[in-house]
Amino acid sequence: MEEKKLDLNAIIGFVLIFGILLGWMYLRQPSPEELEAQKTEQEQQEVAEKEEEATPPQEAQVVQTPEIPLQDSTAVAQYKRSVGAFGFTKVDKGTTVLENEVLYLEVANQGGQIVTARMKNFITFDSVPVYLVKDGNADFGLTLSTSDNRVLESQDLFFEPSLSDTGNSQVLSMKAKISPNQFLEYRYEMPPNEYLVNFTIRSQGLNQILNTTKPVELHWKLNGIRHNKSVQYENRYTRLTYNHDGGKISKLSESSDLDEETEEAVKWLSYRQHFFSSILATDTPFSTVALSSKNLVEEESKAQKFTKSYESATSLPFTGGELSQQMYWYYGPTDVKILDDYQELGLADSIPFGWGIFGWINRYVFTPFYGFLSSFLPYGIAIIVMTIVVRIALSPVTYKSYLSQAKMKVLKPEITELNEKYKDNAMKKQQETMKLYNKAGVNPMSGCIPALLQLPIFYALFMFFPTSFELRQKSFLWAEDLSSYDTIFNLPFTVPFYGDHVSLFPILASIAIFFYMTLTTGQTMQMQQQPGMPNMKFIMYLSPVLMLFFFNNYASGLSLYYFISNLITIGIMLVIKNYILDEDKIHARIQENKKKPKKENRFQRKMREMMEEAETQKRSGRRK
């Protein structure tokens, strides 16, 4: 029998690698002095940019709209002269409110853009209303070229508001006027109980003032407001997503400091902030859009207010000398049940269900199934029930995997004998081992295939729990929010990679994973151990620890799932081992299989021939 011993070199190697990774990540963290220097440099850069913006370029004059009191007719005349032939009407600064049962918007007279967007039915982790636009975090506007080669910025214009109610919708017309028949209009139409607002940009009678041979430049900027207690976790699912080129869904990086792309035929842009999204969609796709996403989160911080900085720029063409573009604003939850109501725009595709078949399983199996369960069960119980159903559905796969392990266990003495007999001839040992597997009717890969079949399920669930709006701020036992981490103890310090708190569900899940690996890995690790390979027993102990660190800042619903899933799997495997499989019968069946002649398939024959040829060449080399 092979002596059981730990590979000390492998253990030391793994410990060193893990220690180096920890040290490398820790040392890469900027010092307080570096952070302060970066902050000072950023402030200086912002001041320089503001000064640069305040200075108009020599080749084009930027038209500004100075603040003047309307009651002063002399000042009004001076204002009109300052903008040459434009003469846009000056109105009071202020905002106009558009609201329904679910959404509250404020539209500013200066610039005509949305300056406040608040969700009426949702609050943040610290009980503050959820804002998507607030305190100047967003900027939307147009850049227009004039007939005398000047530049007109819509943010500098004053729009006259006119609010009406059609019975079906609230309609807000914002007009920057030269005269009653000459104006630039932003038109907002808000239906009841909707997060989607119709938005139209059009001009009338401005074809002699504007240079209609040049397209109008549209830009939209937004800094994502932090809503969750862990800004790093929220930032992981905060991302710019867009529909382009006839239905392709693409995303900018969620982790790089700055990611930029230029795309064509863009139908909508989604500035996703984990569970809430700001989306600009259009009936006529934008021809070309320049996109950028800048990461604003460097480390976990309770003071960090924003996650990412998004920016998009495109152009709007003139049609018949006038501007006309039908668009939509969506300010609301990243919830498939709500976004599916706008199927003609395809906004539900902005939700990160996952890639390929993983996303399909998440969207069309787990999301509706969990929605059904949570409609009549508490949210935590619904997770447990869904876990039970999933594990029962996968129990045949678990059975196949365990059966393969049992067969390998029965063959272990013979494999050990072959290893000892041909310990100095690796090629011959491999040949004889394959012959043994073939005679016994055992496929060593049959235990891996069931595990691979489960990967789409595991990955789909891995994406489901952190992004399912159904779980947001839903409590279970000690977890206050199943979409975020649970906390049973706050640490007075921060542990690298772990955090400043202790979560209980990841601890329970790690313990369950350890016992599961003891059952699955423990009985075969000695048989699979090869010289020079890392010790499987060490990996068995290391994996739960790594999982503990990883899940401590993850959604507690996901940790709950893994805890229950591993408990159920352990139970199923114990039942299979003690009541279903009989190792004596398996051994007898294998012995019977050995007596039967086995016909090699093409692959097996090819492998045998290649190995025999390699062995012959090896012997010829020795004779020389």
Give the least confident one: 140-149, 227-236, 365-374, 511-520.
Answer: 511-520
The verdict on residue 42 lying in a domain is: no
The answer to whether residues 377 and 331 belong to one domain is no
Instruction: Please give the average per-residue pLDDT across 562-566, as a whole number.
Output: 86
Count how many Cα atoms sit within 13 Å of the Cα of residue 71 in the half-sphere of its side chain.
0
Domain boundary among 303, 326, 352: 352
The answer to whether residues 346 and 396 belong to one domain is no
The answer to whether residues 128 and 150 belong to one domain is yes
Mean pLDDT (the chain) is 76
Distance CA 561, CA 564 (A): 5
Q: Domain limits at 576?
A: 365-595
The answer to whether residues 172 and 240 belong to one domain is yes
Tokens of 34: 């570096």
The answer to whether residues 519 and 568 belong to one domain is yes
Bigger pLDDT: 54 or 172? 172
Length of the chain: 624
The answer to whether residues 316 and 462 belong to one domain is no
pLDDT higher than 90, residue 354: no
* Cβ atoms of 86 and 175 closer than 8 Å: no
The answer to whether residues 316 and 218 belong to one domain is yes
Task: Supply φ then ψ for residue 488, to 5 degrees.
Answer: -110, -15
pLDDT higher than 70, residue 530: no
The verdict on residue 63 lying in a domain is: no
Distance CA 382, CA 371 (A): 9
The verdict on residue 62 lying in a domain is: no
Distance CA 273, CA 234 (A): 7
The answer to whether residues 333 and 386 belong to one domain is no
The answer to whether residues 316 and 375 belong to one domain is no
Instruction: Please give the average per-residue pLDDT across 427-452, as a whole number.
Output: 64
Give the least confident one: 179-188, 303-312, 568-577.
Answer: 568-577
pLDDT higher than 80, residue 416: no
* Cβ atoms of 109 and 92 closer than 8 Å: yes
The verdict on residue 319 lying in a domain is: yes
The answer to whether residues 147 and 101 belong to one domain is yes
Q: Decide the pairing of beta strands 114-123 and 129-133.
A: antiparallel
State the SS3 of 529-554. CCCCCCCHHHHHHHHHHHHHHHHCCC
Tokens of 63: 């038209």
The verdict on residue 249 lying in a domain is: yes
Give residue 443's pLDDT.
63
Domain count, the chain: 2
Give residue 436's pLDDT.
64
**Model confidence band, residue 174 (pLDDT cutoffs 50, 70, 90):** very high
Bigger pLDDT: 406 or 137? 137
- pLDDT tens for residues 114-135? 999 999 999 998 889 999 999 9
Domain boundary among 284, 319, 352: 352
Give the least confident one: 173-177, 219-223, 449-453, 545-549.
Answer: 449-453
Bigger pLDDT: 419 or 556? 556
Most confident of 425-439, 475-489, 516-530: 475-489
Going by the DSSP 8-state scheme, the letter that residue 421 receives in this structure is: H
The verdict on residue 28 lying in a domain is: no
Which CATH number is 143's domain given? 2.70.98.90
The answer to whether residues 322 and 399 belong to one domain is no
Instruction: Please give the average per-residue pLDDT across 415-422, as a whole number.
Output: 69
**Model confidence band, residue 76 (pLDDT cutoffs 50, 70, 90):** very low
pLDDT higher than 50, residue 604: yes
Sort 301 into a burial class: Cβ within 10 Å, 0-12 / 13-18 / 19+.
Answer: exposed
pLDDT higher than 70, residue 92: no
The verdict on residue 84 lying in a domain is: yes
The verdict on residue 65 lying in a domain is: no
Bigger pLDDT: 307 or 298? 307
Domain boundary among 325, 352, 379: 352
The answer to whether residues 316 and 414 belong to one domain is no
